[in-house]
Structure 1
């Protein structure tokens, strides 16, 4: 069926999904889509428990391979304590662990808390963190403490909980009996590096620096650098992924002495067949220990799983050939490709389970062969677009012939939907979250969470390669090139060639009628322009300081926060959604003057009929302008698609929000407010608006009448 035939169904319907399979539950896990599975553990009955960072869910997979949700609605948020976990909102669940009573503990990373699910009652509670980002609270109840990107978790035999902070570079302990939190290892402040043999670090108050020191000395004055994940061995000694030090370290729980057991600090992944302490490991980011005390380490940038033999101390590779990619099924694990191994690593019945950035959980059997147990063996390219697996799609663009291009952000790909037969294909990205491939086929290149995509009049495709701070281009031969950005994230290069410039965090990109490129840099609060003919880059809006100011003045002198979607009207005026400032703004094509057209700058909710410039919006992140000049935008966290009508008032055209005031948080989910989080918008034609439904992992088509 062609895309136009499918869209004709909209004559009798308000909307239809046109791309993406969406989240499926009560199905076989091997065939179901997953977002980004991270932490893995198991219950006493061997059922697997998996944290899904992107889908904001905690999954359970039983012995038969059947998949169900045990926590989370899929909506990003923080709610539901002391109620059924399945009705709670989560925000980036990360690492997890199951205790002897089958209680599930996990890092709710985006909320800066740790939470627990009582498996018997299915009730969820917060056990640590008050939701505030910070470092205070030691010596007090854990639920009143601040958290500073705490992600790792492990539980001792006594039931005490240990957590690790990537930013504070320390380990904290929550006492089982009292619930009091205390500093266990490292300093609350961060450290400068000192020599390996000088175990006392230099303390640098309020500096955001990690360090490597302390081996041979007490844990209280050791320096770590992004310690992310933890595990206990059978002797109850604690092991730490000292991520940015490229080492695994150990704390002897009887003496408190710190030592390095794997990694020599080199930025490499080698040394197999020798002692682990002399080998190198490249950003260890996952850790588990089997019942024989063999240690397994997943490498973020080594793209491998390594094993340290408990008896000999010899290190070997058990999975990954060192190349990032979407590995094949039923091949030897040592010969397959792995994406970054982050968090998810577990041993069950002598099988190694791991998750990587391909959005799957995979299993290595006793013979060393790898297979997928969750997340599908395919993303369903070359099939009908409704069968496709998407992972938090964001940007949308339409070519002159009606093909649809989407930034499939967490699948690390750019996908294309052919208008002739509605099939989907990947045109850039291997699924590996890495950087590489310039000068070669785009389908062999690596991307890093691409948020934006735009097709120019010549059918060249431009990409906001967000994580890597680049703008990249796919030419008509399918070759990918870097257009803007270099190895370092920075605001630099105006007045010179874009290829020599630096950018920070581009999440939006668009072309004007002359194929000039505009992109929003959310990292510095700017919109920048690349002249198509000369390749020269300049700032179009924003001074590079985050804020909301400058209306009725030149746009280059204003402050922006986070421009995440851009659109032109027929007169060449540029509109953009500033997600962080909660406004929609316009830059006049002739004068360069900026004005606000919707939103008062404060986060909240306003009813339909409110004057647009007086309204409260909540993180708008999508915008487009119809042929007649009507502005449509996604009021993202209010879960609405809205427009500014002829009277200058806001009017909802899709979605259901039953908030009565800017302060109330209640949503009606009975209808298709399964539109969990509307992001970018793009008109397909004058009557059909496409919406990226970021957390339902679909693209919707909405009839505009």
Structure 2
């Protein structure tokens, strides 16, 4: 999920589409996906044609917008990152040859192999960092050369290697990444139940949160002692991390200067409630993706409530901005609040 120029972009996963909500008008549109497979080979996913005729896999997981308003979609089970041109609305493959494997480092990203990529983010220089989930790696595509490299992970699933070069450390199904203004990389190391950091200067990896156990999260817990319930996304805001904890049904804030965790959205009990009131008293049902606009408003993909929700930066009030709570696909070009969404 990403927000740019007053528009919220999100992947409607089971519907195999990318949709957008105009935050001024409240209208929802389909901007990519909805095509049908008609043949064999790369052409059957729609590359080279209109994005609305393209075919996504069963899991188009995340969408990002770069500084030029170009959209990028992690098409997980097609093992690709796909690119939608803002001028022509044509779709192409930016990273990945479609084979589920690990290959291609130090070569052209479009010829590399990925394995079910999920989250991805751009740094300020236009380099793309990809959570190559089933390869248990984070990979980097150089924005100038288009070359791909591994920046974290050995490819072995596990936990090891703090305070060593990140490429020599084990990860376990990383789902999401983000970067701070200095280029430090934060990784949601999902199956290790940890958040890890790769220092931009030294390249060393450390754990910033998580003891490595599944459990409930208590406010005020030092980050290195915290248990989580399957982390799903992270965004960096100055010296703070905002994190979606799916199974604990909360969004929490980690103050990097103090190392203390505090939940800011959700009660910790899955459900749907709280619109119009304080976000901390609302219920979520497996929050999966996060975005934040320039005003500081937080947007949440409330996955199994089939809604997109917004937390006001000034009042702390939560509201639904898209989805009627019914799973399905309906409502394009109409009010987003009346649309059916999937997870």
Is residue 2:12 matched to residue 1:15? no
**SS in structure 1 opposite 2:280?**
helix
CA distance in structure 2 between the partners assigned to 1:454 and 1:496 by the alignment: 23
CA distance in structure 2 between the partners assigned to 1:12 and 1:639 by the alignment: 20
Aligned partner of 2:100 among 433, 444, 447: 433
Residue 641 of structure 1 corresponds to which residue in structure 2?
A: 308
**SS in structure 1 opposite 2:38?**
helix
Superposed CA RMSD in Å reads 2.6
CA distance in structure 2 between the partners assigned to 1:581 and 1:631 by the alignment: 18
Is residue 2:194 matched to residue 1:540? no
Aligned partners of 1:541 and 1:555 also within 8 Å: yes
CA distance in structure 1 between the partners assigned to 2:26 and 2:318 by the alignment: 23
Aligned partner of 2:125 among 458, 464, 467: 458
**Count of residue pairs the alignment pairs up:** 318
Name the stretch that deviates more: 463-472 or 439-448: 439-448
- 1:196-243 CA distance string (max 9 Å, x none): xxxxxxxxxxxxxxxxxxxxxxxxxxxxxxxxxxxxxxxxxxxxxxxx
Q: TM-score by structure 1 length?
A: 0.43
Q: TM-score by structure 2 length?
A: 0.84
Aligned partner of 1:383 among 49, 53, 62: 49
Aligned partners of 1:551 and 1:558 also within 8 Å: no
Aligned partners of 1:520 and 1:562 also within 8 Å: no
Residue 415 of structure 1 corresponds to which residue in structure 2?
A: 82
Q: Show the 5 A alignment for 1:31-430.
A: 327=41, 377-391=43-57, 392-430=59-97
Structure 2 stretches lacking a partner, 5+ long: 9-19, 332-337
Q: How many angstroms does 1:402 deviate by?
A: 2.2
CA distance in structure 1 between the partners assigned to 2:68 and 2:210 by the alignment: 34
Residue 321 of structure 2 corresponds to which residue in structure 1?
A: 653
**SS in structure 2 opposite 1:386?**
helix
Q: How many angstroms does 1:652 deviate by?
A: 0.8
Aligned partners of 2:328 and 2:340 also within 8 Å: no
Aligned partner of 1:612 among 279, 288, 303: 279
CA distance in structure 2 between the partners assigned to 1:462 and 1:18 by the alignment: 24
Change (3 A) 1:621 1:499: same
Change (3 A) 1:635 1:498: same
**SS in structure 2 opposite 1:523?**
helix
- 1:543-593 CA distance string (max 9 Å, x none): 111222242132222112222111233x44210111121110111243222
**SS in structure 2 opposite 1:443?**
helix
Aligned partner of 1:30 among 38, 42, 49: 38
Aligned partner of 2:173 among 505, 510, 517: 505
CA distance in structure 1 between the partners assigned to 2:330 and 2:21 by the alignment: 23
CA distance in structure 2 between the partners assigned to 1:599 and 1:593 by the alignment: 18
Is residue 2:238 matched to residue 1:562? no
Aligned partners of 2:155 and 2:171 also within 8 Å: no
Structure 1 stretches lacking a partner, 5+ long: 32-325, 329-376, 658-665, 678-705
Q: How many angstroms does 1:427 deviate by?
A: 1.5
CA distance in structure 1 between the partners assigned to 2:32 and 2:138 by the alignment: 25
CA distance in structure 2 between the partners assigned to 1:9 and 1:493 by the alignment: 42
Residue 219 of structure 2 corresponds to which residue in structure 1?
A: 551
Q: How many angstroms does 1:537 deviate by?
A: 0.6
Is residue 2:263 matched to residue 1:596? yes
Residue 221 of structure 1 corresponds to which residue in structure 2?
A: none
Aligned partners of 1:484 and 1:500 also within 8 Å: yes
Change (3 A) 1:478 1:616: same
Q: How many angstroms does 1:420 deviate by?
A: 3.5
- Which structure has more relative contact order (CA 8 Å, sep 6+)? It is 2
Aligned partners of 1:510 and 1:566 also within 8 Å: yes
Q: How many angstroms does 1:624 deviate by?
A: 1.5
Q: How many angstroms does 1:669 deviate by?
A: 7.2
CA distance in structure 2 between the partners assigned to 1:526 and 1:586 by the alignment: 14
Change (3 A) 1:405 1:572: farther
Residue 114 of structure 2 corresponds to which residue in structure 1?
A: 447
Aligned partner of 2:245 among 578, 590, 607: 578
Q: How many angstroms does 1:610 deviate by?
A: 4.4
- 1:442-491 CA distance string (max 9 Å, x none): 11111111001111112111111101111111123122111111131111
**SS in structure 1 opposite 2:304?**
helix
Aligned partners of 2:327 and 2:342 also within 8 Å: no
Q: How many angstroms does 1:531 deviate by?
A: 1.0
Aligned partners of 1:452 and 1:509 also within 8 Å: yes
CA distance in structure 1 between the partners assigned to 2:172 and 2:26 by the alignment: 41
CA distance in structure 1 between the partners assigned to 2:77 and 2:327 by the alignment: 26
Change (3 A) 1:478 1:504: same
Q: How many angstroms does 1:595 deviate by?
A: 0.5
**SS in structure 1 opposite 2:77?**
helix
- 1:312-357 CA distance string (max 9 Å, x none): xxxxxxxxxxxxxx747xxxxxxxxxxxxxxxxxxxxxxxxxxxxx
Is residue 2:178 matched to residue 1:484? no
